[in-house]
A and B are shown apart, each in its own frame.
Chain A
């Protein structure tokens, strides 16, 4: 067989499995072969689930053969970001503090995939507790960008994006709090979608910023994005912020047609700091959509520069509280020498959390402190509400917003962490989407002169994933293979 099974999209592989052209085990063999070949240079995974994966493959194959499993994802191998709980499978959040943590239950999103017959390959690397934009804050080593191993894959879902780009899985799940699916998708040249807040259950996702976190797919094409999103979306009573949607038939949005679609391009997204090559590629994509019949217009979104301080205030405040449970008492890392309870807390947390996580815990604790709460946290919530309002006004005029996903293509390894402010500024195009709870998709729209992928971001109004998928699908046809 000349065709390498691990290189297929999830949809294509699933079809072959259903048609009995390929067995689940063959798909798994090909994928693990790719993993064995590439992990040394890419290091997309923290934990591999080899034995259990083969066991599940047997069970899934039997159900497929018996006609009990007809999902297009049955038997298709998936990589899961290591901040989603998987029963019996180590879940570390790329942190020393959870280096040995084995959950007692599986997150709803992963469970939805398992019910469709997905085979879990392993848990992917990430920035520690999803805090970072390069996957360099992982306690278990960096992940390298498969397009250029001297560069970062982006973050925080860098392991998931790299695994997809390196064909070390058919598709992956990531989580996006401020761009953590879309930005690595952009850097690695794959498709990443962050759904509307509440579309995918957060139950079992180890929280970073609870009001911003969403799980979403990282895939090889837009068709897979629709397929996976449809599978993981569900109303979950276990997540109070889950939304009961009836419009989750996303595959029906795979339509090659953007005629009369109104696309707004925020001028604010093309200001200082944007790499000219990135700007050119994104504008070119807009032109192609225009040529296909879309109405494209520039406009002023406003408030863009306030998104970063508001985001880091809210996300870090929530994180400072969310991460309190990691204390060395019940599970995870515990310092060896301590004198009393508080010394145990201090040492376990100081030794267990890396510097970026500690920085954000301190920032978050500060903005919630008595006397500062009003000035920082409440003000940030007000900014968040204003940003939502600015988007509401934009979506009164446009069906979607188009722009870059990041100011540059993937930076070199080791160049980002020394200047956290600069790293935070790199989130400028993605974080307001989280603050407003909107869906956003990133897909490749070209390469820069160094051959690095450039990401195109499309932002939709709440619950308008279908518009994003239709537009992205149309653009993908216009663009041709990447």
Chain B
């Protein structure tokens, strides 16, 4: 490579909003129903049907806009985007072009400190995609606009029969599209930006933002230019990116493809390309020449949305405490390590559990330990997101109290927690029902200790001979004989007393 190139990236991110009903009708947005079960004349585009705006969609869009420092358009409108395709029952999509609800925002991203997603996505990569290690860089990524629109249905092609089937359950599910400025320069920045957006939106409860399930989808607009140039190169748009890994691969692949074209004296064509993550390559879907004319115009069936200051204030007042503020507060309020705070606040669900459980049992350090160790381990094992955690903060607090009051010991607690993690079982009840209470009768423990001492003369001799570690073996034997129900601390104490005699 004779010249040095810079990658210029802008993103279009679609986020499915977590409303219970669709954007323009009362149908459910729930996943997994029989095809066309959640449909009505409106979302199947029947003649004579009319759309009615779901106010919650406006509220979520506004909340995301306010959290990303956008200006809210006080008088915004819906436009029709006209194109023919069977997944789009009216053959136009109701979207926003001329007056989108949010404009001119930004989010601050941090790079240099790699998150789990970044680490996974960048595994085995070197060079420009990884910033100088150790150094944390802050950067603003501009948000050009956020607009509201409806999702399309799904086509199911029967490879054997000569038919295609349409499922309109997703038709009319509300989306926001967040359009960034071309401010990103690397895959690392792109992922930091996406993680930031996801964090904000999840904190707002506006969406679960799952890339794999399509509730968050990102299209990458990318061009390259010589370092130092102020002109933008010709960009392409990359679609079908459904994981951070495929986004990283696609950025690397497209950057290299464009540089190769320029290096061999060619010209990049403005086009939409589809990334195939199994083949590690993209192919052209359509070029600018055959780009459709969508004939956008204001939808006459919907009134303009006039957003009063009071409404904005109401949404502002309802905004949750975001991660940065939470981190600062945790540092003040809880005596737990900064590392724990970072990890716990990375998920709103986790932070909520932490705060509520700590509030109940008054032991933030212990709550944090359960979250950092056992919860993280089980999430990883079961490849779950923190959002999918089922156990309640109350039950976690109860479990901690059971250990504190010596009803169960730590190893029993771990056993109970695994059950609780799956089913949100009440730990006290479970312990009771399964006879897992620890033996707190010192007399009973003493009897066991005496038996163990009698049966293990060698260890007794070792201990008495100065090998302190031998006590560990004896405690283990006591626990075994007590079927795990003894308190190891008590056993230790009694053993030492007996051996000292």
Residues of A within 8 A of B (CB): 84-85, 91, 93, 98, 101, 103-105, 107, 202-207, 209-211, 237-241, 317-318, 320-321, 324-327, 329-331, 341-342, 345, 365, 368-370, 373, 377
Contacts and interface: CB of A to CB of B under 8 A. Distances in A.
A320 B48 contact: no
27 contacts: A91-B48, A103-B47, A105-B41, A203-B49, A204-B48, A205-B48, A210-B300, A210-B301, A240-B50, A240-B303, A241-B300, A241-B301, A317-B297, A318-B297, A324-B84, A325-B47, A325-B89, A325-B90, A325-B91, A326-B47, A327-B86, A329-B166, A331-B46, A365-B295, A368-B295, A370-B295, A377-B297
Given A321-B295, A325-B91, A98 B47 contact: yes
Contacts of A98: 47
B92 interface: yes
A387 B448 CA distance: 100
A170 B89 CA distance: 38
Contact of A237 (B49, B52, B301): B52
Contact of B50 (A101, A239, A369, A377): A239
Nearest to B81: A321
Nearest to A373: B297
Contacts of B147: none
Given A104-B41, A324-B84, A240 B46 contact: no
Contact of B92 (A239, A321, A342): A321
Interface residues of B, number: 28
Contacts of B84: 324, 327, 342, 345
A318 B300 contact: yes
Contacts of A204: 48-49
Nearest to B164: A341
B82 interface: yes
The dominant DSSP class at the B interface is loop
Interface of B: 41, 44-53, 80, 82, 84, 86, 89-92, 166, 293, 295-297, 300-303
Nearest to A239: B50
Given A210-B301, A325-B91, A341-B86, A238 B50 contact: yes
A101 B295 contact: no
B301 to A, nearest CB: 5
Contact of A211 (B45, B82, B91, B300): B300
A93 B48 CA distance: 11
Q: Which of B47, B86, B92 has the most CB of A within 10 A?
A: B47
A-B pairs, 3 with minimum CB distance? A324-B91, A368-B295, A211-B300
Output the residue of A93, A330, A369 with the most chain B CB within 10 A: A330
B293 A203 contact: no
Contacts of A210: 300-301
A205 B296 CA distance: 23
Contact of A202 (B44, B45, B50, B52): B50
A178 to B, nearest CB: 15
A264 to B, nearest CB: 29
A216 to B, nearest CB: 17
A322 to B, nearest CB: 9
Chain B CB within 10 A, most for which of A107, A365, A370: A370
Contact of B47 (A85, A209, A211, A238): A85
Contacts of A365: 295
Nearest to A377: B297
A129 B293 CA distance: 25
Contacts of A369: 293, 295
Contact of A324 (B51, B53, B90, B297): B90
B46 A103 contact: yes
Highest count of chain A CB atoms <10 Å: which of B45, B84, B302: B84
B435 to A, nearest CB: 59
Contacts of B47: 85, 91, 93, 98, 101, 103, 206, 325-326
A241 B91 contact: no
Given A210-B300, A241-B301, A107 B48 contact: yes
Contacts of B297: 317-318, 321, 368, 373, 377
Contacts of B296: 368, 373
Contacts of B48: 84-85, 91, 103, 105, 107, 203-207
Nearest to A204: B48
Given A240-B301, A240-B302, A104 B46 contact: yes
A202 to B, nearest CB: 6
Contacts of B52: 237-240
Given A241-B303, A373-B295, 18 more contacts: A84-B48, A85-B47, A85-B48, A104-B41, A105-B41, A105-B46, A203-B50, A204-B48, A239-B50, A240-B51, A240-B301, A240-B303, A241-B300, A318-B300, A325-B90, A368-B296, A370-B295, A377-B297
A370 B303 CA distance: 24
Contacts of A318: 297, 300
